[in-house]
Amino acid sequence: MRSGDETVDVSEPERVNIAPGPVFFDGASVDGTKVFFNSGSALTPGAGVGPYLYEYDAQAPAEHRLTLIAGGLSEVSSEFVDPTVVVPEDGTAVYYEGTEPLEVRKGVVEPVTGIWRYDVATEASGFVAVPTTTKIAAGEQWYATPDGRFLLFMSGGEGAKVLGSGGLEVEPRGLGNQQLYRYDALNGSVSCVSCGDGARAPLKGKAETPTSVSGGGSLMQLGGTPGAPVDISNDGSRVFFQTSARLVPQDTNEDTLQEEFGGNEALGRASDVYEWVADGAEDGPGTLCHLAVGCTFLISAGEPDGPSRFLGASEDGRDVFFSSAASLVPGAPAGFSSIYDARIGGGFPRKAGPVECTSCQGVGAPPPQFGAGASETFAGAGNPPLPAASAAPAGKAKSKPKPKPRCRHGYKRNRRGRCVKAARSSARRRP
């Protein structure tokens, strides 16, 4: 490794006098302080049986920078990056395929060859699973999340073996088909993510990866060979894959050519792209998945238009890239393979259509001419006059008092308006 102005040999033997053999680079942390590699030589004391997996820590004290992670590593089948080792970006863990002692039952310890996880902080290895078919033989890729918590791996038709109460047990939902599994280091669980929502895996079809199918390939390339696409979100809640199995009712195409031509997926037409969402994760705006086995959704068309191939996904899981011969958006040619991006929030906004040509249509009809309104040309007697009783008074007029009847003979009205008996006038005069 290059450190400042100095080049350091990370695979130099430490505290032993031995000539090192071939070394295979496995990965490094993002900050470059940790380097992981394997070698057939015992570079540290007490290494045991090789091949060996090592960690070189540039920040550790001198003479103690080299740490033996595991011995009994699976044989390297490539002169480049070892396909049996996966190093997450932060360098806090390493997944590898090797042989380690495991307590399969109470008090019974046996050497088990399978997938293991080494924790850099605790310097301890933990058991993950035993894939029925190794990824080397199947040409499959492993993928780990950047924090090292989750790992995706394939297993053959006999299912993946996990550690149960009775020892090594087969995860029942993956039995009978090649399936994709997710390991969670937080609780040590292994679940089949390509088996659908049911209690058992589909009777027909199997999960596939871009590197395992003829004519496939991912969006990443490494040294001229296909690399591993991003097929799980960084938080581990979403997994993307392709399968020839029908996992949802919307998937209506069925593959018969696979069986007729000896399982050659390049001749099949039922391969579709799916998304798996973990229990408790959001599978829509304000909607959470409440299935213990996770929720499964169809990404591609699911119609007999040709196979759909998963090409990769964004690290946040919002974008899924795949190819399909189906015409899924306006303007996509039917019958020809196109690359699509299925993303949360919808696709691109549609452009407005072309403006219609008006100058090439000739002179149109003149607008209609309107005459005077009907109310202006109407002739008639007019509105009848309002009745007198209904006429509203112009103002509040003072009414005349009603005349009082005359008093009867011999009576007259007094000042108060009452009729009183009138006094008789005297005819006699007095002197």
Task: Identify the band that residue 263 occupies on the pLDDT scale cut at 50, 70 and 90.
Answer: very low
- The pLDDT of residue 180: 92
Average pLDDT over residues 52-57: 93
The separation between the first and the last C-alpha atoms of the chain, rounded to the nearest angstrom, is: 168
Q: Sorting pLDDT into bands at 50, 70 and 90, what band is 365?
A: low
Return the higher-pLDDT residue of 109 and 262.
109
* Residue-level pLDDT at 299: 92
Residue 300 belongs to a domain: yes
**Cα torsion angle, 81, 85, 88, 91, sign:** negative
- Greatest distance between any 2 Cα atoms in the chain: 184
pLDDT at 188 exceeding the cut of 90: yes
* Residue 344: predicted pLDDT: 84
Q: Which backbone phi and psi does 64 adopt, to 5 degrees?
A: -135, 25
Instruction: Report the pLDDT value the prediction gives residue 165, as an integer from 0 to 100.
Output: 82
What is the rounded CA–CA span in Å between residue 20 and residue 39? 8
Instruction: Tell me the Ramachandran region of residue 159: left when phi exceeds 0, alpha when psi lies from -120 to 50, beta otherwise.
Output: left
Which of 254-268, 309-323, 328-342 has the weakest average pLDDT?
A: 254-268
**pLDDT of 227-241, one tens digit each?**
557 889 999 999 999
Is 350 domain-assigned? no
Is 20 domain-assigned? Answer: no
- Least confident window among 263-277, 288-302, 358-372: 358-372
Question: DSSP letters along 271-305, please?
Answer: -EEEEEE-TTSEEETTEE---TT-EEEE-S--SSS
At residue 419 the predicted structure's pLDDT band, cuts being 50, 70 and 90, is: confident
User: CB of 31 within 8 A of CB of 40?
Assistant: no
Which range (122-131, 216-225, 347-356) has the least confidence? 216-225
CA atoms 155, 213, 240, 30: torsion sign: positive
Q: Would you say residue 230 lies in a domain?
A: yes
More confident residue, 215 or 281: 281
The residues pairing with 2 across neighbouring beta strands, listed in sequence order, are 7
Name the residue among 106, 111, 208 with its Cα closest to residue 165: 106
What confidence tier does 285 reach under pLDDT thresholds 50, 70, 90? low
Q: Has residue 94 got a pLDDT over 90?
A: yes
CA–CA dist 134, 353 (Å, integer) = 54
List the one residue out of 205, 206, 169 whose CA is nearest residue 189.
Answer: 169
Rank 12-21, 221-230, 342-351 by mean pLDDT and report only the highest: 12-21
Residue 423's pLDDT is what? 59
> Band of the pLDDT at 259, cuts 50, 70, 90?
very low
Whether residue 326 contacts residue 305, with contact meaning beta carbons closer than 8 Å, is answered with yes
Quote the pLDDT of residue 192. 93
Whether residue 372 lies inside any domain: the answer is no
Total domains in the fold of the chain? 1
- 266, pLDDT greater than 50: no
**Within 13 A of 244's CA, how many CA atoms are on the CB side?**
26
Compute the average pLDDT of residues 103-121. Answer: 92
* pLDDT tens-digit series, residues 142-158: 889 999 999 999 888 88
Mean pLDDT of the chain: 78
CA distance 146 to 29: 10
For 20-52, the pLDDT digits (tens) are 778 888 889 998 899 999 888 889 888 877 789
Rounded Cα–Cα distance for residues 32 and 3 (Å): 9
Residue 291 lies in a domain: yes
Task: Assess whether pLDDT exceeds 60 at residue 303.
Answer: yes
The pLDDT assigned to 150 comes to: 96
Higher model confidence: residue 427 or residue 352? 352
For residue 375, pLDDT beyond 90: no
The answer to whether the CB of 185 falls within 8 A of the CB of 278 is no
309 within a domain of the structure (yes/no) = yes
Confidence of residue 162 (pLDDT cuts 50, 70, 90): very high
Span of 93-102, 148-157, 208-217, 331-340 with lowest mean pLDDT? 208-217
What distances in angstroms separate CA 187 from CA 126, 281, 423, one per listed residue?
A: 11, 17, 131
Write the pLDDT tens digit of every residue in 62-86: 888 999 999 888 766 555 556 678 9
* pLDDT tier, 429 (very low <50, low <70, confident <90, very high otherwise): very low
Model pLDDT, residue 117: 96
pLDDT at position 3 is 76
Does the pLDDT of residue 396 top 70, yes or no?
A: no
Quickly tell me which residue has 């003072």 as its tokens.
398
Give 352: exposed, middle or buried? Use CB within 10 Å, 0-12, 13-18, 19+.
Answer: exposed
Is residue 367 domain-resident? no
Q: Has residue 6 got a pLDDT over 70?
A: yes
- Per residue in 193-221, pLDDT (tens digit) is 999 988 888 878 888 765 444 333 444 44
Residue 241 lies in domain: 203-343
